Amino acid sequence: MKKYIVLLLFLLSGCSSPQLGTIQVNNINAYVELAVTPEQREQGLMYRQQLEKDQGLLMVFEKPQQVSLWMLNTLIPLDVGYFNKQGELLATTQMLPDGGKQLYHSPPETFYVLEMNRDWFNRYGLKPGAQLTLPESFKRH
């Protein structure tokens, strides 16, 4: 009963839970949370204690642009992949928790940013040119 009351309060508050789904990079599955609003992208993976092996966050932007990221309140080391609007991997970088001291900049034509556990891209041999594939439900954004 208690969980139904919490769910009802959540629904009545107008909050929406993040959209979750499976994406692929060169046929490698990743289970991600979708971040499409400025607030969702700003929150990112802050305060998370861990991510499962193939779990992450996919940020989607309104237009291709250079994106700047930092590790403020982010507790786990991350791999970040920058993709253009066509889903081509442009570059990757590794980010370590540092309290937000360092800024990381993407290539200027970045449309998608995929944040995963550190070494995710290396573990699967994903290099620039790898292809991002999204489920239809993600393409509406």
Q: Is the pLDDT of residue 74 over 50?
A: yes
Mean pLDDT rounded to a whole number for the chain: 89
- One-letter amino acid at 129 equals G
Q: Is the pLDDT of residue 50 over 80?
A: yes
Regarding pTM above 0.95, the answer is no
Mean pLDDT of 16-26: 88
Of the pLDDT bands very low, low, confident and very high (cuts 50, 70, 90), residue 35 is very high
Residue 108: count of CB within 10 angstroms of its CB: 12
Residue 132 near residue 23 (C-beta atoms within 8 A): yes
Q: How far is CA 5 from CA 14, 16, 55, 128, in A?
A: 15, 16, 29, 47
Q: Under 8 Å CB-to-CB from 111, ≥6 apart: which residues? A: 60, 61, 63, 64, 65, 83, 84, 85
Q: What is the pLDDT of residue 17?
A: 66
- Provide the CB-side half-sphere exposure for 2 (13 A, CA): 0
Q: Is the pLDDT of residue 1 over 70?
A: no
In Å, the largest CA–CA distance within the chain is 50
Token pair 């919490």 is found at 6
